[in-house]
Amino acid sequence: MSYNFLNIAATPDVRAVQAEMGTAGMWPEPGKVVEPSALGPHEKDFISERDSFYMATVSETGWPYVQHRGGPMGFLHVLDDQTLAFADFRGNLQYITAGNLRGSDRACLFLMDYTRRRRLKIYATVSLAGADESLALKEKWAAENYRAVTERIYLLNVVAFDWNCPQHIVPRYTFEQLKAHIEPVMQRLEELEAENAALRQRLQE
Ligand SMILES: Cc1cc2nc3c(=O)[nH]c(=O)nc-3n(C[C@H](O)[C@H](O)[C@H](O)COP(=O)(O)O)c2cc1C
């Protein structure tokens, strides 16, 4: 548990509910740790292995908004202990996240590893990369060879993070993960079908 995460998440209303439910004593006093959280090797590896994440922003009318982001594994790049970056691909042309970030630079990221049943929440402030940095990052990432139009590069300054428990996460596997297990079975099936056809043929002779 990152104490810093609760400094943000545990608002007075949240603390009031904790008090009502008798759990307030479980958590650190508010305001204890104010240092921004640095990502460690565990977080960096986890982030680099993701091919999707969810990103929540806040509208100027106070509504939360969450959107799924997907791309090649590692498309949410770890630039350093405190900074993440990703290319904002052209999508449905609604620009809700982009618009929300004009009013408030605050975002909450939710990263899921369904296979290993792990999840990470990240609070970040978001800024647009400047033209030079944007160009440099686009060139650096061009080798990924992913078919999408990049409209902007977002830089995410990590303010806090928190790991969640695996409870209620149903394991899911990507096609690529399953392929390694399915292919030998398919191959064996083909061999058996060929053998079966040959045996049938011999019976008819
Ligand atoms: C052709 C196309 C259509 C899409 N349609 C939708 C859609 O109807 N609803 C949605 O939530 N995302 C849709 N997406 C994905 C989003 O466009 C994408 O995640 C984008 O970043 C949305 O950002 P925003 O929700 O912040 O506006 C679509 C993407 C593409 C390429």
Residue 111 maps to which CATH number? 2.30.110.10
Domain that holds residue 6: 1-34
Q: Are residues 29 and 44 in the same domain?
A: no
Q: Is 201 in the pocket of ligand 1 (CB under 6 A)?
A: no
Q: Is 204 in the pocket of ligand 1 (CB under 6 A)?
A: no
Q: Are residues 47 and 102 in the same domain?
A: yes
Q: Are residues 107 and 194 in the same domain?
A: no
Q: What whole-number distance in Å separates Cα of residue 89 and Cα of residue 35?
A: 32
Residue located nearest, by CA, to atom 6 of ligand 1: 92
Q: Are residues 103 and 151 in the same domain?
A: yes
Closest CA to 156 of 140, 143, 139, 137: 137
Q: What whole-number distance in Å separates Cα of residue 100 and Cα of residue 60?
A: 7
DSSP code string of 54-74: EEEEE-TTS-EEEEEEE-STT
Choosing from 51, 88, 92 the residue with most ligand 1 atoms within 8 A of its CB, the one to mutate for a pocket test is 92
Q: Is 100 in the pocket of ligand 1 (CB under 6 A)?
A: no
**Cβ atoms of residues 49 and 71 within 8 Å:** no
Q: Is 96 in the pocket of ligand 1 (CB under 6 A)?
A: yes
Structure tokens at 91: 């999508």
112-126 residue pLDDT tens: 999 999 999 999 999
Query: What is the tally of structural domains in the chain?
Result: 3
Q: Are residues 109 and 129 in the same domain?
A: yes
28-54 residue pLDDT tens: 777 666 566 799 999 999 999 999 999
